[in-house]
Structure 1
């Protein structure tokens, strides 16, 4: 019983991390990317975080040895989540506000659902179909704002974030079934270190201008520190942990909270404008996400249709 209680607490803390801390990373990345090249920023962040995870793992006595297959899978997962999924999002933040990026990313549960249907043949429940419709409507309202589209590079930023969503969503499905290191901390370390090195290679190939930390402003240094310790080590470990014990759809519910946190922080610290259309779009989009993820959807549907739904389909 004590063991179950510890697991429950760990799950709650992990969800807190992916809900609130992850929502704050949009602000930290936006601050850092105003001074630093995107791929260099992401690469340094993950190389340092991954190295620290290995040092901590060694001190705690966690075995670092993994099989070739596990190494291959951690590299693939790291690429989908971090090298491409995160590195390109940081790049996109050069063109769009942090709050807008978070709102667009909130459509991830919709993408996960559609991928599960296309790749795994999972049936889409009736209420989820409504959720998909609402989600698409919300995204259309969000990205269709003329004052945002008119900004230089905004369309490119929107497209980049959408492609990253595809990468993250497929990564969520991949990690759920892949043979990965049993220790979630070690698993995170391999993903981060391999991705960080890959991002630094990409940065070099793109000719980004690197700079020494002693030239960075205080806000950038603080943002980088928070990204490394909270946004990387704590949150991504929690993310990997949750993906192995709960369904990808439940993990994707962080999209409910992330955009709200990002909008508030972007408005307060960066004076980012929150338009009425963005508020309406976020309400419609998050309502759609709720319909996609709610476990009550079959029960609700049965009340409207009068059809009895087998209990095993609701569980």
Structure 2
């Protein structure tokens, strides 16, 4: 019989993916103004992975995993970090941090649709309302002239959508995959493999690397915060929650992330918050709410039960 999850750990983990991840849009936006995107992401995740390995050694946690687990952590690292995060960082060169967070807030809709396509889960009426509102919200978001008029903004918007698909599929994959049972070990291997793939991608793209001593102070602090909090703390919390609660509940972090990102982008980077963006956010997040209400989550019970003691 599996041990019941600690409610305090669950609350702290949700705080991490809600608030800390909401701030990473600002931190990435600051850093990508000076650093190549894949270099930035590679340094962030490789360093974080190595630090977690060191932490495991100090805590005498075994780092031994099977070949299957190594392969699965590499797949998850690619879906979440190499593509799912690295391309978002690249897209931040062309779109505002708050806008990117709002677009990514559509993730629960994508999770629901993928569950329908890949697992045959029926979409209930409330979910259909949520999907409809989500589509309207996304349209209101991306149809703004001040957004699409920016150079390469449409390409950035499209690539972020592909990242949405990658994260959504990764969430479903991790829920069923054979991964290391220890969350630190699981995160460390995902970080390291994802960081290595980002490094290879950076080399293939011909990005120019630079020493941290040559970075500006805001970029140095941003990288430090991204490594410690955005990577080690938040991503470990994310993996913990994916094995403790259902994927669509984890996706509810998109309620808070865009609000945090919008406010931080507005306050620190003077990013414009238009009336249409506010309306789009309300419509989109209302759609997400319809998908994730307690009553609606009952339809996923059979899915979570199939995962045995690893979920709920």
Fold in common (TM above 0.5): yes
1:207 paired with 2:206, answer yes
1:186–1:297 Cα change, 3 Å = closer
Partner of 2:64: 65
In 1, Cα distance between equivalents of 2:260 and 2:122: 32
The separation in 1 between residues aligned to 2:12 and 2:53, in whole angstroms, is: 22
**Which residue in 1 is equivalent to 2:309?**
none
**Pair 1:162-2:156 in alignment:** no
Q: Quick one: distance in 2 between partners of 1:174 and 1:266?
A: 32
- 1:142 aligns with 141
1:217 paired with 2:216, answer yes
Do 1:74 and 1:191's aligned partners in 2 also have CA atoms closer than 8 Å?
yes
Separation in 2, partners of 1:274, 1:117: 34
Per the alignment, residue 263 of structure 1 pairs with 262
Residues of 1 paired with 2:174 and 2:55: CA distance? 23
Superposition pairs for residues 46-125 of structure 1, below 5 Å? 46-125=45-124
Aligned equivalents of 2:195, 2:260: Cα separation in 1? 26
Contact persistence 1:20–1:258 (CA under 8 A)? yes
User: Structure 1: which 5+ runs fail to align?
Assistant: 300-308
Structure 2 contact 291–297 (Cα < 8 Å) conserved: no
| TM-score (normalised: structure 1) | 0.93
> Equivalent residue of 1:296, what SS?
helix
Displacement, 1:296? 2.6
Shift of 1:245: 1.2
**CA offsets 1:200-231 (integer angstroms, 9 cap, x no match):** 11101111011100100000000000000000
SS of 2:16's equivalent?
helix
Report whether the alignment pairs 1:275 with 2:274.
yes
Cα distance, 1:124 vs structure 2: 1.2
- What SS class does the counterpart of residue 253 from structure 1 fall into? helix
User: Does structure 1 residue 130 correspond to structure 2 residue 133?
Assistant: no
RMSD (Å), alpha carbons:
1.8
SS in 2 for 1:255: helix
TM-score by length of 2: 0.94
Structure with max Cα Rg: 1
For the residues of structure 2 that align with 1:97 and 1:152, how far apart are their CA atoms?
12
Aligned to 1:247: 246
Q: Aligned partners of 1:29 and 1:124: how far apart in 2?
A: 35
Change in CA separation of 1:298 and 1:194 when aligned onto 2, cut-off 3 Å: closer
How far did residue 123 of structure 1 move?
1.4
Residue of structure 1 equivalent to 2:15: 16
1:171-221 deviations in Å (ceiling 9; x for gaps) = 000000000000011000000001111111110111101110010000000
8 Å contact kept, 1:127–1:298: no
Uncovered stretches (5+) of structure 2, i.e. residues with no partner: 306-312
Structure 1 runs (4+) deviating above 3 angstroms are none
Could you tell me how far apart the structure 1 residues matched to 2:12 and 2:61 are?
21
Q: 2:88 and 2:302 mapped to 1: Cα distance?
A: 39
Tell me, what secondary structure is at the counterpart of 1:180? coil
